[in-house]
Amino acid sequence: MRLIARPGFQRWASAFPLTRGTAAKDGAELFDLVQGFVKSQVLFALVELRVLHRLMDGALSADALAQMSGMRTDRMERLMMAATAMKLTTRDRAGRYSLARLGAAMVGVPGLEDMIRHHEAFYRDLNDPVALMRGEVDTELSAFWPYVFGAANATDPETSKRYSDLMARSQQIVSADTLAVADLKRTQHLLDVGGGYGVFAEAAALKHRGMHATVFDLPAVKPNARTLMERSQAKDRLRFVPGSFRDDPLPEGADTISLIRVLYDHEDQTVEALLSKIFDTLPDGGRLLVSEPMSGGAKPEVSGDVYFSFYCLAMQTGTVRSAARISQMCKAAGFTSVQIHRSRRPFVTTSLMALKSNG
């Protein structure tokens, strides 16, 4: 590795026929890392200006897009060339731009544009990453997600609505990926702890017609959760129980309890207490379903160990854990066996199921 790190070796490798292909590939990958922050800001601009939405009806010139967006044509051309280089759009011979497959997918993924807009605060928290890692930054994300510090910090309805809205819009895709791998056919009563508006509970109840589902979350979430439930085709099998899993007992009667994007918001001590409470609440033979983005553990991977790891750091609480680590914590709480379900899209979620053994 010391040899590869020498500038002289890099110059030689770039010229030598047998190594210049590898050197060029390494260089391109390094430059992509260097320019990554620019890509994210280009994406932010495309979302803010609704450029991809404007292209849904057909190809448009940079001039037409500039007029719609209130900016100079040459600057819109610059943005669209960047979007095309990022494979979000295509450019025809007449200079008009159309949606590429990736751009169309971005419009169609629930909650993705809200997530990108929400990154405005995350970008500012990452402005000085060294100070962030040293704990010297009073981050904006810690104010955006106050519930992670306890129910007393999230009693204001407007605050609750702000974070619950964002979670609900992105929860659809998480629910779909979780239900694709988690076997809930035998579940009669699901308790979704920290379930927000009930997006996952509703999706599970709609997939399994005999299932009843209870959502347990903070009292401030209740009005919007009730609104969603009243509109649902499964409304007769859905209910909301207000409370804090830190301070209140969990509702009884469920044979499966789910934690969907809950554990990584909290420190180990809070997670350990919650897992023990769930174990005590479940009957013998009951199951715990955990689904959230996870670390790659011994084999770090980009979504968990870069994006979500630093997002949790900016939240100032919680951490991304590997499936192996969560399994250990479940077993320490008393669960006997844990089955890990490898997700087809780990950047969305990874799921595991823990069993409370009979006897």
Q: What is the pLDDT of residues 112-159, one digit of tens each?
A: 888 888 888 899 999 999 999 999 988 988 877 655 545 444 555 555
What CA–CA distances, in Å, run from 159 to 119, 165, 218? 18, 10, 12
Predicted pLDDT of residue 137: 87
| pLDDT over 60 (residue 241) | yes
Please provide the DSSP assignment of 101-153 as one string: HHHHHHHHSTTHHHHHHHHHHHHHHTSSHHHHHTT----SHHHH-GGGG-GGG
- What domains can be seen in the chain, in order of their start residue? 35-108 (1.10.10.10), 113-355 (3.40.50.150)
291, 306, 269: which is closest to 348 by C-alpha? 291
As given in the structure block, the two tokens for residue 96 are 């008009």
Per the model's pLDDT, the better-predicted residue between 168 and 244 turns out to be 244
* pLDDT tens track for 6-25: 566 456 455 656 556 665 67
Predicted pLDDT of residue 318: 86
Q: pLDDT band for position 269 (50/70/90)?
A: very high
| pLDDT over 60 (residue 103) | yes
167 CB-side CA count, 13 A: 24
* pLDDT tens track for 286-345: 999 999 999 999 999 899 999 999 999 998 888 999 999 999 999 999 999 999 997 778
Print burial letters for 13-46: b (CB count within 10 Å at least 16), e (below 16).
Answer: beeeeeeeeebeeeeeeeeeeeeeeeeeebbeeb
pTM for the model stands at 0.85
